Structure 1
């Protein structure tokens, strides 16, 4: 007599499949509607309405022309792109190097203590005022480094990479060392090529974090010319500061404030959204392999 299978292992019936498809479709619509509304609202000229609460009766790119004809939005986009690119490269480099060093806790004296210190940062934070005083004493105020150095290494990302490294067979690294390879050569020629999936995942995590960074810029950056796009978005779209301060007055006068605000939101969202397709195929493999040991 065949052993009975668990209910969740049985093939679902037609009604169950239809209910799953309907539920997924509803969830997708609920997720996409706000983003679609922002895009269509940014394309709506003055006096026009959105049919069915979403589709405009007419289209125009005047809001984007107005935003991009100014100086602050294009400059803020370039600042965010630069911070995201440089910060992601530095964070991935230092995270992988630290993770590689902490995989050899038996060989390197004091490495366990360093690991405990890193783990401790996941449970306790110094707070806003000590962090501000530290950045000030280091002379980083009003500098792009104040947006890079405080969050250079994430303890969570480091642990994910470390667990991934520890699953690589020790025979590979031992044979390389027998052949005369140094630790740097083992790291560059063996560990990194075998870790493309997890590196892509943490690079995506870091890139999203740097792109969405808002609070650090608000605290550490007083020069408006160094503001990233998220801080500009908060100032001119969320707080509703006068649009004429950043846009071409002639172009902005033909657009509603809502269309200008929605255009800024789209410009602040689309660049980082384009990164996901390139890292998506590594995402599941990298997270599961790096987070599970054994």
Structure 2
């Protein structure tokens, strides 16, 4: 039976696991890479800005030994981000919730020997061991997103970066989001509020000296598609500035207008055929869209787009 990529999220991931290029994911990876090269000086093939020296000193051997920068993809799904960053010289690892997706990635010749694990980010904490930690289109699927962000942050080493991408603009929330299992779409202010709650606070130890697990506050949509915090007791937290947001931007402006047209005006589902079809028309449209997305990459972000991208550096 043939796979229909737009049937559901798992079908899409299975289809994408068999390729090394996707119009959306590959261009998003390029966009993210271009942004972190500008913000994080210890990136392979990049020179440190004037007056700044990276701890890895730009040694080309970073690609050959354990001095390579470590990249963690949480919600690795189809493995395309892992393959992209591996090609850029990173030592990659991934967490993925779905067992079948893990299996597909492990049998990929490009990822066979990489550390890819079935895991739930809401149940994991790290030891600040990764230079770059990314969660692309992950936390909108998680009810308690603050817990997920806090756990992501725990894997970022000092000087490293956490990258989060999410569906942008709460007013766009609709049937497609429900189909893909999204609890919410994000306005920039809302996501930054959650991130700042994580990176600028830390739970205080209890009487035994142990730090209690952070449960955070859950959020739900009301009828106006706003995000309302459900209040319940959380551990006492102390102010502790642990990081800084280094960039906030939008990506995929064409996708924004397409989504708005179909979801809010036509009230029709968006077909994924153009993204996957091999017809001449589909290939031609993909070529044009690819060039537009590359232009966005060169510009470094626009004030409007379908995806919100945030980069945070740990101090």
Q: TM-score, normalised by structure 2?
A: 0.24
Q: Which has the higher contact order (CA 8 A, sep 6+)?
A: 1
Kindly indicate which of the two structures has a greater share of residues assigned to strand: 2
Higher Rg: 1
Normalized per residue, the structure richer in helix is: 1
TM-score normalised by length of structure 1: 0.25
